[in-house]
Structure formats: C-alpha cells, structure tokens
Chain A
Amino acid sequence: MTATISDLPVTTAGLETVGLSKSYGGVKAVDGVTVSFHHGEVNALIGPNGSGKTTFFNCVTGMIKPDSGTTSYRGRDITGKASHRIAQAGIGRSFQLCRVFPRMTVMENMLVAVRTGNTFAQLRSARDKTQLDRARGLLTRVGLDHLEEVEARNVSYGQQKLLELAGVLMGDPETILLDEPAGGVNPALIDRIKILVRELNAEGKTFLIVEHNMGLVMSLSDHVVVFDRGRTIAEGPPSVIQSDPKVLEAYLGI
C-alpha cells in the first residue's frame, strides 16, 4: 500500500481478462472488459449497483459462462472453465451472501477444500493429521478454533464469514476473490478482516475485492478498478481514483 508498488510496471501476470462480455436478454451486463489485476497486490473492484461487478466476478470464477472474451490466470486460459478447475488453478473465492455448509461442523467445513491429489488419495481419511493441523492453524488464526465441533448453522453470521474465509484458505489459493466481505458485519469484524487481508497479502497472496464500503476499499487496496455500466471507467491507486471526475459522475450522476 505504499505509493511505489502501483507505480512499478506490473511484471508478473495474474488474473486478466480481454474483451470479456456477458449479456442477459438485450442488456450487456459486462461489455468487453479488458483488465489486468495486479498480481501480489490487493485489488479492489468498485462501481455503482448494476455496473456489472458481480456478473464479471461470476464469469471470472466460473459460475457463469461469458458470451465472448477470455480470462487468463498466470498466462493460462481459464475462460469458461468449471469453477472447480478454477479453484484448483489457485483461485479461491468467497460469496456475497456468505456460504458455508450448514449441517456440517466447523471442522468438517474446513476439510472440504480440495487442491490436488490423485484418485486413491481421495479415499484416505478426511481427518488425517496434516489436514487437521492445518485446519486448526487456520481456525486459530481467525479465532474460531474453540468452535470446531459446532455445526456451521449454529454460529453467528460474522463467525460464518470468518469460517468461509478460513475454508477458502484451506485450499491454499494464490489469489483470493472476496465478494463484499464487509457486507452485513459489524465494524469490529470488518477490522479483523482488514488485518487478515493485510497479513495474507504480506505473505504473498493476491486479492481481488468487490466492495461497496469505500472506507475499507480506500484504506486496504493498492489498485482500484472502477466499473460502470459493464465497462471499466478508471483504474489506479485509491488516491487517484478518489479524485477522478468520471468516478464521481458514475456514483453520483454528476
């Protein structure tokens, strides 16, 4: 988050799209979006409601198939691939309305993420020591370790959000996409999430955060991309974006 990071030319390819488009009926939700997210940094994707952020997000993560254009990650084409392949390529994601597995315990939730492993490895016990230790480590990190055996539906919404994040981290993704992480949680939890993101970024993880909470975006991100009506209208560090007239126009209609 120092000014120098964004000034350097981007050397490592990360998550990129070229000409990505998706229409619903006659409406172009995503209109030929070409963007390169900065690998190794905390990227933010902002824009007014209806600007196409979520559709873009879903196209990139494999939940929807785009009509045209390509998505690539670290140079590999991942356009239209199933979401489990994208997860296995090293991209993890959280959901806007936090999704955990309700009737499974917190620990069982943690043990679902699959990265690789051949067929016979899948028959091994889910609860083997290495996985359990890793899971416990992550749960301790987010402060949920004492709730291991509690069913996910019985913990608070805020705790579910933390669980969701911890579960994604189990897959050891290089890049993490967060869909409105600050949605529906209290300020103390937002702070907690902010600290986590910073720590994980310092450990080398790339982030792409879709968010409405401007405070969070501006204080957390290195690189901001602004959407409006299916297109990117501005890109740059937070300080630059904040004073960009096009951005103000998009949000306030000025």
Chain B
Amino acid sequence: MLSASDLAPPAPPSHRPRPATVLRVAKGVALVVAVAAVLLFPRLAADPFILSVGVVIASYAVLATSWNLVGGFTGYISLGHAAYYGVGAYATALLIIKADVPPFVAWIVGALLVGLLAIPIGIAALRVRGASFVIVSIALVLILLLVFQSWGSFTGGSNGLRVPRPFSADVLRPEQHERFFYLHIALLSVVLLVWWVIDRSRFGAGLKAIREDEDKAESLGVPTVRYKLIAFVLSAFFTALGGGLYALWFGFLDPIFQFSILIGSYMVLMALLGGVRSLFGPAIGAVIVGVALEFFKSRYGDTQLHLVATGLLLALVVLFMPDGIIPALTNLVNRFRPTASSIQEMTAAELLQRDRAERPSETELSATEVADENTAVPR
C-alpha cells in the first residue's frame, strides 16, 4: 500500500559530473604541463641570469621539501634548518679541499656525515616539543654560525671558502647552470619520491598521528621517539644534499650566508605557503617565494627591504593562510561561488553533517539515531 513517504521525491542525484573526477583530471593535466615546463626551462630561459635564478629556485624547492619531511609530517617546526644546509655545504667543500675526495662523492659523503650528526642532535632536540623545539633549532644554527666564523683556520671563517668546481674550466657558465639545474631537479625528484613513500606508508600514518597528538599516538603503540628521529635524520640528510649541491654550483661559502636564519625561515615560509600536507606544496611555495624574492631584489636593490618583505609575507601566511595557499584560495573561490541552491540538494544527513561541523556539542546523537537520519526523507 502506498504511503505518503513513498510519494515524496527521492533525494536527487547530483547532476553535475562528479567533482572529484574533474579535479583529478585537472591535477593530472597540471602535473604534465608543470613537468614539461620544468624540463624545458633551460631551453626557454631568456638569458643565463634567468637560468641561474631557476637554479636557486630549484634549490629552494629541494630545501623546502626536505624541511617538510620533518616539519610537515611530525609538526616539529625547525626554524634553524639552515644548520644542516650549512654543514652539508661545508662538509662537501672541506672533503674536496682537505681530503681530495672527488666532488660528487664528497657531496654524498658530506650529506651522510650530516645525517650521522643529526642523530645525537635529534635525540637531544626531540626531547622537547612545540616552542622549546623551535628555540633549540634556532640555537643550533646560531651556535654553528659562531663556530664556523671563529674557526677560521679550518673553515676560512668570515673570509669565506672557495669551493673547487666539479666541472672543468672549459664548461661555460650557462652550461654549468643548466647542468646544475637538472641536478637539482633530479635531487628534488628523489626527495619528492621519499615524501610520497612516507606519506602513504604506515610509518607516515604514525608520523601524522604524532603531529596531531603525540601522547595519544604513543598510547596506540606508535614508537614516537624512534619515528621522530628517523624523520628528523632523513630531513637533515636531504637538506645537507641541497647544501652540498649549492656549494658545488655557487663555488663560494660564507658562514653568514650558509648558517642563515633567513634561509631557514624561507624553508618554513615556502612549505607553509605551498601547504605542508601536500606533495608539491613546498615546491610550489618555493616557486612563489623565489620569484617574489627576485622581484623584490630587482625593485629595491640590495637594501634590507627583502627582510621586510619576507617578514610581511610570513606574517600574512601565518595569519591568513596557515593551511597553505591552495586551501586559502579554495575558500576564497567558494565565497564567490553562487550560493548553495535550495535545501533539496542536500540530504538530511549532509545537513546534519554541516550543522555538526559548526556546532559539534549541540548536535550529539547516538550512532543508531544517525543511522536513522540516513534514511530520512529530505525536506
């Protein structure tokens, strides 16, 4: 026998093509275009200067993604990550100069040394959390700056250290830039791969749980100390690789530029801006910030204003886009979209979901009541 509820219209299916598939296709296309653009960049670059900027940005992308291995996954924000960048650079240079190690071997060995050093440093530093950890990370880079400036006999101190070029003298500047560009991209690919493997793995799930609630994660059996340390050492290792590659490319090291809080803050800014929870987030952030920095440098010359600009940008990101630029843009776009059509488009369950998101405590239901909601007729 028919009843009133049988005559009521069923919840209408969404007419639009499923948004998830559209997004996925768009992402795929964007990825292909981006990869092509990156690979063709050296050909497309107008002059060697632009090419060298490209190398710098690629370097930033490596550093930001490496930083994200610990910062994004565990939530332990290291503002002094330039420490590993600097030691990686100097280790590479000093191995070549003092121990006659071939350049690219020195590069890898130098980074491995930094990785080893990161173990005791991590054990000490990871004993504290949140603000204390940030303080410790800053202290580390400051003390390294002090040491490398004062130990002139070994490191060249404030006079700097000239790094022998890996490629012979008859390889011209632009060609050097191009080679190093591809080297950086290759390194970036490796770091991205590592991030991706961790992200989908159980190890990664444990790390993310540490970020959300470390004690709770531990009570579920996650070996938090071990996991944090592994992420930390991996991050230091890849950051050091970035530093070493920079040393080989740039050819000159100065403690004030290697152990720079500014570079450390760039890493954090880029990762935050691009979005710490996404694969390409830090790299995107690196491109945005890198281009902006070049712009500011060309506009305002060599004054301290790039500090002002970086400070402002970081403040803006923290205040208005703490989840990254993509979520922020999406929210902005959603504001301007035509307002949600009539209630009939949402099932009662979705309405309840939305209400609950806004006022969780008031709409508390038992599980059985929720099950009933799923079969309710829409208004």
Contact = CB atoms under 8 A, between A and B. Distances in A.
A and B touch in the complex (CB under 8 A): yes
A70 B219 CA distance: 19
Given A112-B217, A117-B202, A146-B374, A155 B356 contact: yes
B218 A186 contact: no
B187 interface: no
Nearest to B374: A146
Given A122-B203, A122-B206, A159-B367, A114 B222 contact: yes
A167 B202 contact: no
Given A95-B219, A108-B205, 10 more contacts: A83-B218, A99-B215, A112-B206, A113-B220, A123-B202, A159-B367, A171-B220, A186-B364, A189-B366, A192-B367
A112 B205 contact: yes
Contact of B219 (A61, A103, A154): A61
18 contacts: A82-B218, A84-B221, A84-B224, A102-B212, A102-B213, A111-B205, A112-B206, A112-B220, A114-B220, A122-B201, A122-B202, A123-B202, A124-B202, A142-B367, A154-B360, A155-B356, A156-B364, A158-B366
Contacts of B222: 84, 112, 114
Contact of B368 (A61, A115, A143, A168): A143
Nearest to B199: A126
B370 interface: yes
Nearest to B216: A99
Contacts of A154: 353, 356-357, 360
B220 A143 contact: no
Contacts of B200: 125-127
A87 interface: yes
A84 B353 CA distance: 34
A248 interface: no
B366 A101 contact: no
A83 B215 contact: yes
B123 to A, nearest CB: 14
Contacts of A63: 215, 219
Query: How many of chain A's residues touch chain B, expressed as a range?
Result: 35 or more
B363 interface: yes
A125 B217 contact: no
B365 interface: yes
A168 B220 CA distance: 7
B363 to A, nearest CB: 6
B361 A157 contact: yes
B208 interface: yes
Contacts of A61: 219
Nearest to A125: B200
A119 to B, nearest CB: 9
Interface string B112-145: 0000000000000000000000000000000000
Interface in B189-204: 197-198, 200-204
B367 A144 contact: yes
A192 B204 CA distance: 33
Contacts of B206: 112, 114, 122
Given A101-B216, A155-B360, A156-B360, A123 B197 contact: yes
Contacts of B202: 111, 114, 117, 121-126
Contacts of B223: 84, 114
